[in-house]
Every structure is written in structure tokens, then in C-alpha cells.
């Protein structure tokens, strides 16, 4: 009697083609958003920041300084200086990230070439700083959200972080501080201060683009009135709650812990619910980068 082996049946041709089409759609979607983000960053640079001698941080900031000193095109320096980080990212982080980064940097470099002759939107330093920082932050945030990067500074910081006591964020901040000081000598010190303001605005905009305006929050509530609070959250916020079993380390008493996920816009209303029912309740609220599964859906507050 022949031995029967467990052989996985091949998928029908229709299902295989659907899976392949879905993968292509994902690639096209990712590429489209990365291109959009890179174009937005090019707009922020060429139509707002660079004509007013205001810098961004990282490799782009160094590229702006070199372009000003040599008279060469900004896109040339952005592409050339970032190429080594493409190979480092390929080895250290992965193929998908590296290719997404290469696409973003290529579009950004080409965008600065094409937009350079376009007249600037404003020569008001404050307006250029604010709107340039917002547009630049939107572009970078979109690219990061879809798995790419427009600057090799993050990769450099990750490598330094492995052999130093400093965090990635601290290394990037130090690197950008050096660039802004250098900008003060090359341009003027007020331009260096505007550049620091641009970096801060772009950083906050990136945060909003990645996490969304209605960023998700996790809430942990400990109260003897847990049933009343839980029911109020269900009725008034329309959110599901989970009761967890806890134990006080000091008293050894059993506690019910309420866990729920809300949006940032619902945070104030949740605090009001807890305050109304049990002013002495323990409440901890934290940010969540992503929520999947379950019945959680983001909705507007009425």
C-alpha cells in the first residue's frame, strides 16, 4: 500500500492571480504615496525654504549649504550624499526599505531640479518657515508612513546608536544642531534660528501625518466603581471595554482594571466620565501607534 503524503494542493489559477494582483496594487499604492511625499518635500524646499536661505536638518540641510557654496544644483547633492545610506539601509534594514528610500530620494532630487526655476511663493521669512515646514513635514511623514525615507541621517543614527550610550533621537538632534550652527556661519544667525523653527514645525507635522489627527489612545482605569464607569464608557462613548483582573502589590486586594481604546478627541470626554463617577479613580492614558482588529473604529465626536 503506497504511503500517502500530505501534499498542499495548488491554489486555483483565479486565486493565484488575485493574490498577485493584490501584491501589485500594494506596490503601486506604496510607490504612489512615496512619490507624492517626495514631491511635497521638493515643493517645500524649492518654493519656500531654499530661496529664503532657510534649512532643513539632516543630509538635506548639508546639501543646501553645499549647493549655496558651490552653485551646483541641490538635487545633485541630495542624491549623491544619500547614496551611501541606500546601501547601508539595504544591508542593515532590508530590501523593501532600501528600494522605497531610493525611489523617494530619486523623486526628491528630480523634483528640486524641475521646481528650481519656478517663482517662490513668498519672501516673508516667517511665512516661508511655517508653510515650508508644514509642507516638508507632510511629505516626509507620508514617505515614512509607507516604508521609506528621504534622508540618510536616521540610518546613520541607528549605526552610531549600536556603539554609543545615546539614543537615535539624541544623535539626530546633535547632528542637526551642528548643521544649524554651520548655517549661522554660512548664511546669517537669524536664518539658523528660522531653520531650527522649520525643523520643529516639520517634526510635529510628521508626527500628525504618521499617527493621524485622531490618534488612538489606550486608557487604564482602576476604581471600585468599575462597572458604572465601564457601562458609562459603552453608553456615552460607544466604546467597548475589557475588565482585567489585577492585584494591589501593597494591600494584596483584588482589583478590576478597565481597559479601553479611544481616540485623542475622546480623551477629554473619558476623563469627564471618570471624574463624574469616581473622582479618586486611577486613570492612565497612553498613545498607541496603531490599532487593528476587534470592533474598534475611529469616529467623529458629536
Beta strands in 115-166 (DSSP E): none
Residue 242 contacts residue 258 (beta carbons within 8 Å):
yes
pLDDT > 60? residue 225 = yes
Give φ, ψ of 140 to 5 degrees. -65, -40
pLDDT > 90? residue 123 = no
3-state helix, strand, coil in the chain (%, to 5): 65, 10, 25
More confident residue, 55 or 1: 55
pLDDT > 50? residue 254 = yes
Q: Which range (128-137, 159-168, 236-245) has the least confidence?
A: 159-168
Q: Give the model's pLDDT for residue 17.
A: 38
Q: Give the model's pLDDT for residue 179.
A: 87
Residue 37 contacts residue 104 (beta carbons within 8 Å):
yes
CB within 8 A of 204, min separation 6: which ones?
137
Mean pLDDT, rounded, for 209-220: 76
- Looking at CATH, the fold of the domain delimited by 216-288 is given as Alpha-Beta Plaits (3.30.70)
Cα–Cα distance, 218 to 258 (Å, whole number): 10
C-alpha pair distances (Å), 237 with each of 49, 98, 262, 276: 43, 42, 9, 14
- The pLDDT-based confidence of 264 (bands split at 50, 70, 90) is confident
**Secondary structure of residue 245 in the 3-state scheme:** strand
Q: Give the model's pLDDT for residue 18.
A: 41
Strand order in the sheet with 242-247: 242-247, 254-263, 216-222, 282-288
Residue 108 contacts residue 150 (beta carbons within 8 Å):
yes
Question: Using CA of residue 135, residue 140, residue 141, residue 145, what is the dihedral sign?
Answer: positive
Q: Which range (4-8, 60-64, 97-101, 280-284) has the least confidence?
A: 4-8
Mean pLDDT, rounded, for 15-23: 46
Q: Which range (56-60, 171-175, 193-197, 291-295) has the least confidence?
A: 291-295
Among the listed residues 300, 293, 274, 144, the one whose alpha carbon sits nearest the alpha carbon of residue 214:
300
Cα–Cα distance, 248 to 67 (Å, whole number): 62
Q: Give the model's pLDDT for residue 114.
A: 92
> Counting every residue, how long is the chain?
302
Cα–Cα distance, 215 to 222 (Å, whole number): 23
**Secondary structure of residue 238 in the 3-state scheme:** coil
Mean pLDDT, rounded, for 149-168: 72
Domain ranges of the chain: 16-211, 216-288
Q: Residue 158: enclosing H or E segment and its boundaries?
A: helix 153-161
More confident residue, 149 or 9: 149
Q: Give the model's pLDDT for residue 203.
A: 83
Q: Which range (31-35, 88-92, 239-243) has the least confidence?
A: 88-92
Q: Give the model's pLDDT for residue 229.
A: 93
Amino acid at each position: 500500500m503506497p504511503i500517502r503524503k500530505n501534499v498542499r494542493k495548488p491554489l486555483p489559477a483565479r486565486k493565484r492571480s488575485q493574490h498577485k494582483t493584490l501584491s501589485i496594487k500594494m506596490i503601486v499604492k506604496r510607490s504612489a504615496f512615496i512619490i507624492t511625499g517626495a514631491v511635497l518635500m521638493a515643493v517645500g524646499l524649492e518654493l519656500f525654504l531654499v530661496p529664503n536661505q532657510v534649512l532643513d536638518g539632516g543630509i538635506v540641510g548639508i546639501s543646501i549649504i553645499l549647493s549655496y557654496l558651490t552653485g551646483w544644483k541641490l538635487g545633485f547633492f541630495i542624491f549623491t550624499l544619500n547614496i551611501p545610506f541606500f546601501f547601508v539601509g539595504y544591508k542593515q534594514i532590508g530590501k523593501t526599505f532600501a528600494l522605497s528610500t531610493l525611489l523617494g530620494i530619486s523623486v526628491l532630487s528630480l523634483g528640486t531640479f524641475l521646481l528650481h526655476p519656478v517663482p517662490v511663493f513668498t519672501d516673508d521669512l516667517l511665512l516661508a518657515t511655517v508653510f515650508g515646514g508644514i509642507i516638508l513635514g507632510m511629505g516626509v511623514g507620508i514617505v515614512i508612513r509607507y516604508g521609506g525615507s528621504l534622508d540618510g541621517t536616521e540610518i546613520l543614527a541607528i549605526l552610531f546608536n549600536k556603539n554609543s550610550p545615546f539614543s537615535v533621537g539624541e544623535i539626530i538632534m546633535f547632528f542637526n544642531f551642528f548643521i544649524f550652527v554651520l548655517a549661522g556661519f554660512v548664511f546669517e544667525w537669524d536664518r539658523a534660528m528660522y531653520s531650527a523653527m522649520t525643523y520643529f514645525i516639520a517634526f510635529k507635522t510628521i508626527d500628525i501625518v504618521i499617527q493621524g489627527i485622531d490618534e488612538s489612545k489606550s486608557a487604564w482605569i482602576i476604581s471600585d466603581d468599575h462597572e458604572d464607569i465601564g457601562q458609562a464608557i459603552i453608553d456615552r462613548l460607544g466604546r467597548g471595554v475589557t475588565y482585567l483582573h489585577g492585584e494591589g502589590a501593597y494591600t494584596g486586594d483584588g482589583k478590576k482594571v478597565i481597559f479601553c481604546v479611544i481616540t485623542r478627541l475622546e480623551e477629554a470626554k473619558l476623563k469627564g466620565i471618570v471624574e463624574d463617577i469616581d473622582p479618586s479613580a486611577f486613570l492612565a492614558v497612553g498613545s498607541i501607534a496603531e490599532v487593528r482588529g476587534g470592533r474598534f473604529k475611529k469616529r467623529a465626536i458629536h
